Amino acid sequence: MDNKQILPEEGAVFLIDKELTWTSFDVVKKIRNTLRIKKVGHAGTLDPLATGLLIVCAGRKTKEINLYQGLKKEYTGILEVGKTTPSFDLETEFDSEKEYRHLSNTIISAATHKFIGDILQVPPLFSAVKINGQRAYTVARQGKEATLEAKNVNVELFEITKTDLPLLHFRLVCSKGFYVRSLARDFGNELGTGAYLKALRREKIGDFSVANAMTIDGFVEKFKKS
């Protein structure tokens, strides 16, 4: 049986639990090749160093991608204070270190409150935002400087769920267009210690949960040619 016959005529939406180091496009390409159809797209990028829920639309369901992109997102992750990197995560090498042992739960909790509600956020230079038609990450990897405009975003919830200095485990619920790596930068600046995003997992997109997602290997196994 040809795999593309497996898809309903109206298309399909797949919940994928993206693995570490895979790009979102890697997942789309794998699904495209497995189903042997061209019309496949994802509804919200996950960085290669992040894991978790990726919504992938196939066939006629690709028309609904914008609907899913607009839904709020829920993440869990780990920030490490006292260190920074140019990319605000582990894609680049550490470029500074500061003392952090003076931080208390009271100081940390007070800082989180400043990042809840409607806020302005500057995207990371290591991102897909376009600068004069060129992706910002291309500019960054060339070692060039550039200024990105702040954007309005919303944070419904930002809480530290566990403190094990220098590591801070967190839970976050935010709007479309929010960059968790920028939160790491800004939160570190607020604490005066610097910080970077050590780990990130997307748990939910709207009412869709990673608990109901399949791995890419599981997807291939389910839809491979019999």
Confidence of residue 3 (pLDDT cuts 50, 70, 90): very low
**Is residue 153 helix, strand or coil?**
strand
Which pLDDT score, from 0 to 100, does residue 4 have?
45
Q: Judge whether 26 and 177 are in contact, CB under 8 Å.
A: no
What does DSSP assign to residue 150?
P
Report pLDDT digits (tens) over 175-192: 999 999 999 999 999 999
CA distance 97 to 86: 13
Catalytic residue at 17? Answer: no
Residue 154 is which amino acid? N
Q: Judge whether 95 and 84 are in contact, CB under 8 Å.
A: yes
CA distance 51 to 88: 16
Is the pLDDT at 205 greater than 70? The verdict is yes
Mean of the pLDDT values across residues 203-218? 97
Tokens at 199, concatenated? 């780990």
Q: Which of 3-12, 44-53, 128-137, 155-164 has the lowest mean pLDDT?
A: 128-137
Report pLDDT digits (tens) over 60-104: 999 999 999 999 999 999 999 999 999 999 999 999 999 999 999
**Sequence-distant (≥ 6) Cβ neighbours of residue 155 within 8 angstroms:** 115, 116, 117, 119, 172, 173, 174, 175, 178
Hey, what domains does the chain have and what are their CATH numbers? 3-70+206-223 (3.30.2350.10), 73-204 (3.30.2350.10)
Which one from 2, 26, 47, 217 is the annotated catalytic residue? 47
Q: What is the average pLDDT score of the chain?
A: 91
Q: Judge whether 158 and 115 are in contact, CB under 8 Å.
A: yes
Its sign, for the CA torsion 63, 66, 72, 77, is: positive
